Every structure is written in C-alpha cells, then in structure tokens.
Structure 1
Amino acid sequence: MRILLVMDPFIPVPPEHYGGIERVIYDIACQYVKMGHQVTIVAGPNSKSPDRLIIYGENGSLSPSINFKILTDVFFILQKEIRQHDVVHNFGRLLFLLPFLKNSIRKVQTYMRYVDQKNIEWLDKLRPVNLTYTAVSDAVVNTGKTRRSNWVTIYNCAPIAQFRFKKDVPADSYLAFLGRIERCKGLHSAIKVALLSKRKLIIAGNISDLEHEKTYFEQEIKPLIDGDQITYIGPVDNVQKNEFLGNASALLTPVEWFEPFPIIIPEAYACGTPVLGFNNGGIAEGIDEAITGFISTNVNEMAEQVKKVSRLDRHACRLKAEISYSDINIANDYLHVYELDI
C-alpha cells in the first residue's frame, strides 16, 4: 500500500521533546515501512521519514495559525501526490482535505483534540467520498460524531521496543509528572498531591512559550520547586524517559481540561509504571481501575490513591502497553481503517 501521511508544519516529525501527534506519525510510519508499505510524510522543517519525505512551511511556535500560504502549499503537494498513493491520512487541519473531498482516494482524518461538531456537519453537507474520521479516544469521537459521518476510535501509541520494563521500584519511589507545563495540565495539583502524600515529585517537560503560561510557571510553580521534595529536570527525550518513568512509583495526570488521550499513558505503561489521573476527556479510557492505575476527581482523592500504588501490578501495566498501545498494533488498526468499505 502507498500511504501519504500529512501533518501541520510547525513541529518536526518526530519531535525531540514536545509533540504528540508528530510522534505518533513517525512511529506508525516506521511500522508501515517494516511491513513493506510505501510511506510519504508531508511535514515541516527538520522532519524525518523512514521512507520518503516532503518538507513544507517554516519553523513556528506551539500555537501557530494556518495561513493562505500553508493551505496553498499543501494543496499543490496533495494534488500531485494523491495520484501516486492509495490513501491520504491527514493528521493536520481538516481544511487540507477540502479540495479533495470528491476524489476517490481513501481519506482518513485523525483528531487528537476536541472536535467542533459544526465543522463535521458542514462537511457532511458536501457529501465527501471515502472519508473516515478517527479519534484517539471515545471521548473525542463523541464530540465530533454526526449521523452521516463515519468514526473509529484508535488510541495513541508508544514505540514499545524503545522502552524498558522496570518490574520493581522501591515502595517510596518518587511520583512523576511529564508534560507541557501549562495550567490545564494540572502541575499545581500534582505538587499538592505530592505534598499531601509526603512523597517526592519529579517534574519533566517544557515550559510553554505562551506568556500567560510562563507567568503561571514563574508565579505558581517555581516557588514550590525546592530541589528536594519537588524537583524540575526540564524536557526529556525517549532515552531519558526510560529512567524517568521507569523508576517512578506512578505518573500523575491531574489534568484540568478535556484531555483527548495523552501519549504519556502508553509510555508510562511501557516502563511498567501505573497512572493516576483525573477523570477528564479520554484519561479514564486509558486506566484500568485498580489494575494499571486509579481515576479520581480531585487532589485529595489522588493523594489517597498514592498510598495504594504499591499494590498495583507493574506487569499488568506493561501488558496493557503491549496489547492496547504498541506502535505495531496501532499501525495495524489504522491499516484496517484504510481498507474499510464505506
């Protein structure tokens, strides 16, 4: 099969640190190539591909906007490449597919965020041909699904072979927080959980480049970092994640927004590390209660759950990663969508 993978041009594929969608694209592309498929990745500067690569756009921030030049560039790329491929899988803006809705090529639009259902309803009226939507959780699917549209849930993946399973850690080992440092990710709540449970918390992730989020870090987070109970180590790559996640007693995800489905859940499980999360968005879909972690609704509940983390089976976490979230299995899930009769 000849597969065309399309992404917004603002973050390289794969990203060194932040960038969930871009990481998934690269992971499934690598699996496609191993399976014998031909893959073309259309992405921004400094991107890589295990097969063929088309670069477009310019380096941007983490909160960019799509302009006319970007839309024009993508249009001409797709106009040429569609003839040479069997499927176009768009992880970028839905607008990228608009000129090709009546083209007979199989089209897949993947969402890793809350969906504006009005956009889907509007597109329904145009009666697109061979278009399937996928989303990374049932929660996201439910935000976008309409009577006419076809949706499939496919979760985010992790390259399991790159993560080492750590079967045992000390009962009092540190708690981990991994993610972009923005208020919606709930780092302030993770710190409260650590303080309430009298456990160490190690924080990893990049500080947002948005001014109000920088203020959040400087005024509300930084004063609580003492280098002892609360430590910040900066961004980490996949190699560093092995040690960081693998040696943690649990990963905390006390998000305060509609979290679609964070890649940190499969990554933590791949290391054998359970996850404690607030019940927002698709978080609960990734946690088998009292098996691979615990679901809560507030800081006090999560702090109480920290006391029970040592009862969880780290083998069950690794098995969950291998069965539900491996790059091999998720790549196959997408291949099945490419082959659907609709």
Structure 2
Amino acid sequence: MIVPPYYELPPPGYGGVEQVCAALVDALVARGNEVTLFGAGSKTGTAANFVSTVREPQADRLGHSLPELVHLARVDRLIEDRSFDVVHDHTTVGPLAAAQRRVPTVVTVHNSPDGELGEYLRGIDRAVALVSISYAQRRVGAGLPWTATVHNGLSTDVSAKPAPTDGPVLWLGRFAADKGPDLAIEACREAGSRLVLAGKATEPSEQRYLDEVVRPMLGPDVELLVNPDRQRCWGLLAEARCLLMPIRWEEPFGMVMLEAMACGTPVVALNRGAVPEVVRHGETGIICTDPRELPDGIRQASGIDPTVCADHVRDSFSPDLMAARYERIYHRWKRAMPLSPSEVADAADRSSQQLLPAVAAG
C-alpha cells in the first residue's frame, strides 16, 4: 500500500486520502491479508507493516510534485527487493511508473480527473487497474480506462446521538470557492441559524480566500475555526444540527458527509458530484438543486432520525465492505484477468449480505 508522503496514517488532522487508506489497511489485515504500508513519518497507527521513506511527513510541501517523486523512487527500489502479490497506489505520480514494476498495480484516483489530471491519466499504461471512488468521478473522467468503482469506507467508533440537536449548522472543509463557505454564510443567515465555519487554511490559496472572501462576511452569527484537529472536528459534527455542503464542483466523494452521518448528523448539500451517491434524500439529509433551497433544507433537516443516518454509514460504507471489494480487484488483477461486471460486487455481497451499487467493472 503506497500512500502520499504528506501525512502519517491515520492523519492527526486534515487528510481525507490518509483517513481512507488507514481504514482500508486495517480492514484488509482484519480479513487475513498481510499488508506493507509505504509512507512518511516515524510510525503508523495502522495494523500494517510500516516502511518509511522519509522521516518527517511533508505536509508543508503539499501540492509539490518533488516530494512524491522522491517518495516513489524510494518505494520502487524497496519493492524490487521484496516479494509482493499486488501494489495498491494512492499517489498521483506513482501510476506513471507502475507499468515498469514486476508487480501488478491497482491505482485509486482520489481527485477530480478533469483538466491536466485527466490528460495525465489517459496516458497511464493499460496494465494498471484504475479505480474510481464514485460514479460522479467516473463521469467527469469519461473515456479513462476505469477498471472498477469502489466507494470509500469510514472507520469510526463514535456513537450516534439519540435525537436531533439544536446546535449550530456546521460547514467543514478547505477554505476554497469550490467548497462554498460564502454560500453557507448566506444560507444560514436566511434560515436564521447559527453557523460554525471550521476549515483548513494551510496553503497560500486557502489563506488568501479566507482573508479576502470569508472574513469580510463574518458577523456575530458565525464562529470561525481555522485548522481544527480531528478530535475537535468530531465534537463539532456531533453537536451540529446539520452539516452544510454548498459545493460548487463535482466532488469525487466527500468523506465529511460520512463523518457527519456516522454521528447522526444529517447532511444538507447541493446536488453536485457524489452527493446523491452518499446521501439518501429525505432519509439521511436534504439534497438541494439550487443554493436558494439551502435555507429550507436546513429547516427540514431537523426532522431526520440520527439513527437512520448512522445505520446508513455502517451498512453502506464500512471498511470491511470496501476491503472486500478491493480484495476482488487484487485477486483478478494479479492473475491479469479482466473483471466481469458482477465479480467485484459479488465479493462485497458475500461479505455484507447486501448488494450495493458502489462497484462496477468498466
């Protein structure tokens, strides 16, 4: 398992990819697999055999290509010296060198495959198994040689609240126009609801957006929290009356929606990206087609049962279900055999006793 060199697993704060990978590693080990994790830092909180390529995580160089290039060069040298059945790569740079490996490689694409990333992925060798994390992501990357789609899983031991709360509305994400914190402020003011804006602002573009767009809109009805740690985020999710997701882009997945629902907190979101694959309208949240509908969505969310939200995450997005689906891909790709449309989902069905539309062969 190759992860980016920016954060340890599991991540102490921001790090959606790392959170998913940590859950996947532990679920694979629990299912009897031996997993070697190649990453950054001096330790891992997962059950994997850990091999570090760099002593300190490279979070301050997030978005730079050179840390990943050096990380992958070291990983590939280490892979050559060991015996592995399959490599699962979660980096951006890694797929380019995957065809040179003697070990078959499965690559999960975690970002939106449009623009330059889409052009890059079109050049990936067809010997690499390319996996999407949602059908929305797959539509954005139409024409790419997708092998399968596997929804992310969430590992958490939080307990869902027993009843809806009257706490503030929560917006939680990166401070960027695509994430719509400005729309969240406008919607909550219209609904007469308090708002907590909690987000990441470690990169220059995020800090600039926060200072130039968000701060001028603040008032006594909005609480701002910058770069909260994971423990604080879980507390905010549990206290919130709903999570607000007024996104302006085709979100490939959106782990924060799973986190909210696991706490029993419904999601109010715009119908973009993977939102309708993750949220069940009227049952675990309210999906709006226009920003003008968000205030009414906030009001409607108070009637949603927290238990239904938590059950949805446990039944449809468990780490074991994710691991079962990836296992099927590993086995078939290791034997260099094409996937049939039902094979990956069949494995997940045997594990969960519930066939879900989250996996399909390309």
Same fold (TM over 0.5): yes
1:166-315 equivalences under 5 Å are 166-170=161-165, 172-210=166-204, 212-226=205-219, 228-315=220-307
Checking the alignment, whether the CA contact within 8 Å between 2:191 and 2:296 is kept in structure 1 is yes
Q: CA RMSD in A?
A: 2.3
Distance of 2:122 and 2:71 partners within structure 1: 26
Post-superposition shift, 1:254? 0.6
The C-alpha deviation readout for 1:137-177, integer Å capped at 9, x for no partner, is 10112233537x2422212222132x22112133x431111
Distance of 2:214 and 2:120 partners within structure 1: 37
Letter of the 2:103 counterpart? I
- Secondary structure in 1 matching 2:200: coil
Post-superposition shift, 1:121? 3.3
1:133-148 equivalences under 5 Å are 133-146=130-143
Checking the alignment, whether the CA contact within 8 Å between 1:6 and 1:88 is kept in structure 2 is yes
Checking the alignment, whether the CA contact within 8 Å between 1:120 and 1:144 is kept in structure 2 is no
1:54-203 equivalences under 5 Å are 54-57=51-54, 59-61=58-60, 63-67=62-66, 70-71=68-69, 73-81=71-79, 83-93=82-92, 95-101=93-99, 103=101, 105-115=103-113, 116-123=117-124, 126-128=125-127, 131-146=128-143, 149-161=145-157, 163-170=158-165, 172-203=166-197
Of stretches 259-268 and 323-332 in structure 1, the one that deviates more from structure 2 is: 323-332
Letter of the 1:221 counterpart? V
Question: After TM superposition, what 4+ stretches of structure 1 lie above 4 angstroms from structure 2?
Answer: none
The C-alpha deviation readout for 1:63-82, integer Å capped at 9, x for no partner, is 42223x75355234224325
Letter of the 1:23 counterpart? Q
- Secondary structure in 2 matching 1:311: coil
Post-superposition shift, 1:270? 0.5
- Secondary structure in 2 matching 1:339: helix
Distance of 2:42 and 2:255 partners within structure 1: 22
Runs of at least 5 residues in structure 1 that lack an aligned partner in the other structure: none
Post-superposition shift, 1:258? 2.3
Distance of 1:73 and 1:307 partners within structure 2: 48
Distance 1:178 1:46, change over 3 A: farther
Checking the alignment, whether the CA contact within 8 Å between 1:192 and 1:299 is kept in structure 2 is no
Q: Which residue of 2 aligns with 1:51?
A: 48
- Secondary structure in 1 matching 2:302: helix
Distance of 1:41 and 1:154 partners within structure 2: 20
The C-alpha deviation readout for 1:115-156, integer Å capped at 9, x for no partner, is 144334323xx542xx32111110112233537x24222122
Distance of 2:226 and 2:78 partners within structure 1: 42
The C-alpha deviation readout for 1:13-55, integer Å capped at 9, x for no partner, is 3221111101111111122222232111111235514222222
- Secondary structure in 1 matching 2:313: helix
Q: TM-score, normalised by structure 1?
A: 0.87
Aligned counterpart in structure 2 of residue 15 of structure 1, from 3, 11, 17: 11
- Secondary structure in 2 matching 1:151: strand
Number of equivalences = 327
The C-alpha deviation readout for 1:158-200, integer Å capped at 9, x for no partner, is 2132x22112133x43111111222221111111111000001
Checking the alignment, whether the CA contact within 8 Å between 2:164 and 2:306 is kept in structure 1 is no
Letter of the 2:199 counterpart? G
Checking the alignment, whether the CA contact within 8 Å between 2:159 and 2:263 is kept in structure 1 is yes
- Secondary structure in 2 matching 1:109: strand
